[in-house]
Homo-oligomer: A and B are copies of this chain.
């Protein structure tokens, strides 16, 4: 089995590689070849050094998609994207990378299959940013996509293309709408959503973290481990059960910031909780108030996708996967 990961240097790409390194048959077949692609050359896990090719390549550059697809991977993960803030700040770059790059990949598969039959599994990282407020209390699987960012628009368009190209028999596509990933490993970043992770990750290692919103803010979460699980399952699952509606809102946990903090207290004690510094930020509060708070991800659950059901679990997973099992 030849697996290609486009966006292999990103957080999800690296986590997926760690999982495959630990469990090389996770995708159901022996991993005989691995092609790792990103705008910077991705690191190759040592266990895969003999079967891997790492490429620094911008998917939206001339000929890049054709070059990648000519090696005819069985499974293609497309995780690469310009993030939300940058896609909003740079209109042209966002559309070029997130829309044109993805379409170039899809069309390269179409061209490739003309030479010789070819039908790869194509797994696309989408986002709940395809939705835009106002929302119902729980967003169901049939709620419409009215994004309020260019990033969300680009993801929603790629979802439509993915479904049509799949219906046409060009590839076997699945769109994975990710919840906000929490606890995001690494240093605090400036993303408006960063605090959801910061207020847990930093106190767990004895550092202060800033909370810019009220405790009654609700949002939709899954751990990095669940996110990897979604992508692994998407490669293994029987796609004949999905039908033509190929883009799936992944399961997740709807929780209040206050519930995050209570879970932190239970797992790490009041000392950890005391490291959270409240610094209300009206800009962040206003951005976050437009985000989805809860989903009924029934279809994905019925198709076998799973996520956490409590913040205690999310915190324990972080401790196991990032902190060597202890705090």
A245 interfacial by beta-carbon distance below 8 Å = yes
A167 interfacial by beta-carbon distance below 8 Å = yes
Assess whether A160 is in contact with B143, with CB atoms less than 8 Å apart. no
Given the complex, which residues of B lie within 8 Å of A132, measured CB to CB? 244-245
Assess whether A160 is in contact with B168, with CB atoms less than 8 Å apart. no
Assess whether B164 is in contact with A244, with CB atoms less than 8 Å apart. no
Binds B, one of A25-33, A77-85, A149-157: A149-157
Size class of the contact patch on chain A = 20 to 34
Given the complex, which residues of B lie within 8 Å of A244, measured CB to CB? 132, 146, 148
In whole angstroms, what is the CA distance A147 to B142 when docked? 13
Contacts A147-B160, A148-B244, A244-B132 known; A91 to B142 CB distance under 8 Å? no
Assess whether B160 is in contact with A153, with CB atoms less than 8 Å apart. yes
| B142, B148, B163, B168: the one within 8 Å of A143 (CB) | B142
Given the complex, which residues of B lie within 8 Å of A91, measured CB to CB? 110, 168
Given the complex, which residues of B lie within 8 Å of A146, measured CB to CB? 163, 244-245
Assess whether A153 is in contact with B163, with CB atoms less than 8 Å apart. yes
A52 interfacial by beta-carbon distance below 8 Å = no
Assess whether B160 is in contact with A145, with CB atoms less than 8 Å apart. yes
A105 to chain B, nearest CB (A): 15
| B142, B150, B160, B245: the one within 8 Å of A156 (CB) | B160
CB-based nearest B residue for A150: B164
The contact string, 1 if C-beta is below 8 Å from chain B, for chain A 161-203, is: 1011001100000000000000000000000000000000000
Given the complex, which residues of B lie within 8 Å of A136, measured CB to CB? 142
In whole angstroms, what is the CA distance A141 to B136 when docked? 13
The contact string, 1 if C-beta is below 8 Å from chain B, for chain A 118-142, is: 0000000000000010001000011
In whole angstroms, what is the CA distance A167 to B87 when docked? 14
Contacts A160-B153, A161-B157 known; A144 to B145 CB distance under 8 Å? yes
A147 to chain B, nearest CB (A): 7
Given the complex, which residues of B lie within 8 Å of A144, measured CB to CB? 141-145
In whole angstroms, what is the CA distance A156 to B144 when docked? 11
Q: Which parts of A228-253 form the interface with B (CB within 8 Å)? A: 244-245
Assess whether A168 is in contact with B156, with CB atoms less than 8 Å apart. no
A279 to chain B, nearest CB (A): 30
29 CB contacts below 8 A, A to B, read A91-B110, A91-B168, A132-B244, A136-B142, A141-B144, A142-B143, A142-B144, A143-B144, A144-B144, A144-B145, A145-B145, A146-B163, A146-B244, A147-B160, A147-B163, A147-B164, A148-B167, A148-B244, A150-B164, A150-B168, A153-B160, A153-B161, A153-B163, A153-B164, A156-B160, A157-B157, A157-B160, A157-B161, A160-B160
